[in-house]
Structure 1
Amino acid sequence: MAFWYCRVCGLDYDYSPWGPNEDEPSYDTCECCGVQFGVDDYSVLSTQAYRRTWLSKGAKWFYPKLQPTDWDLAAQLAQVPAQYQ
């Protein structure tokens, strides 16, 4: 069961890439969009800019071998936290 979502692409995580208080980034990389938590998504504007760039380049998975065969981009993007849409 997912509890947190990537601020850029909406990929679900079972841990918060931004720590339990949402203010301590892990600096890990999202396996879908490739955002580095705390570097590329440090603000709403930087998050939205990263998403626009990722989408304009075809929304390719950063780690393609991890992409589910039934992946639905629209459904995943719908999971982006409201304040970062």
Structure 2
Amino acid sequence: MYKCLVCGYLGLYEKPYDKNGCASYEICPCCGFQFGFDDKDQGKTFESYRIKWISDGAQWSNKKKQPRNWSLEEQLKNL
């Protein structure tokens, strides 16, 4: 499992970027960031996306994957 560089989620199936800098295009089920699209195509930084996601209520993109006792504060410690 790999870490989301935006929200600190520790359940990505692929490394966000390979050794050559190519993106996985995986979408984080927590914050919804898509590596290779939101950053490169849309020009969003991890920090700017994180700030907007938190200010919008830090809602899970895929609510089925949200752990029962999930804590935003604890997850952000992974960054």
Give the distance between the partners of 2:8 and 2:66, measured in 1 at CA. Answer: 14
Contact 1:28 1:36 in 2 (8 A): yes
Secondary structure in structure 2 of the residue aligned to 1:5: coil
Structure 2 unaligned spans of 5+? none
Whole-Å Cα distance in 2 between the matches of residues 41 and 79 of structure 1? 20
Aligned to 1:6, which of 4, 7, 13? 4
The aligned amino acid for 1:40 is: D
CA distance in structure 1 between the partners assigned to 2:20 and 2:72 by the alignment: 24
Q: TM-score, normalised by structure 2?
A: 0.81
Percent pairwise identity: 40
One-letter code aligned to 1:66: K
Distance in structure 1 (CA, Å) of the matches to 2:71 and 2:46: 20
State the aligned residue count.
Answer: 75
Q: Which residue matches 2:52? A: 53
1:8-47 mapped onto 2 (5 Å cutoff): 8-12=6-10, 13=12, 15-19=14-18, 21=19, 23-42=21-40, 46-47=45-46
Give every structure 1 segment of 4 or more consecutive aligned residues whose post-TM-superposition deviation is greater than 6 Å.
none
Compare the two structures and name the one with the higher helix fraction.
1
Question: TM-score normalised to the size of structure 1?
Answer: 0.76
More strand by share: 1
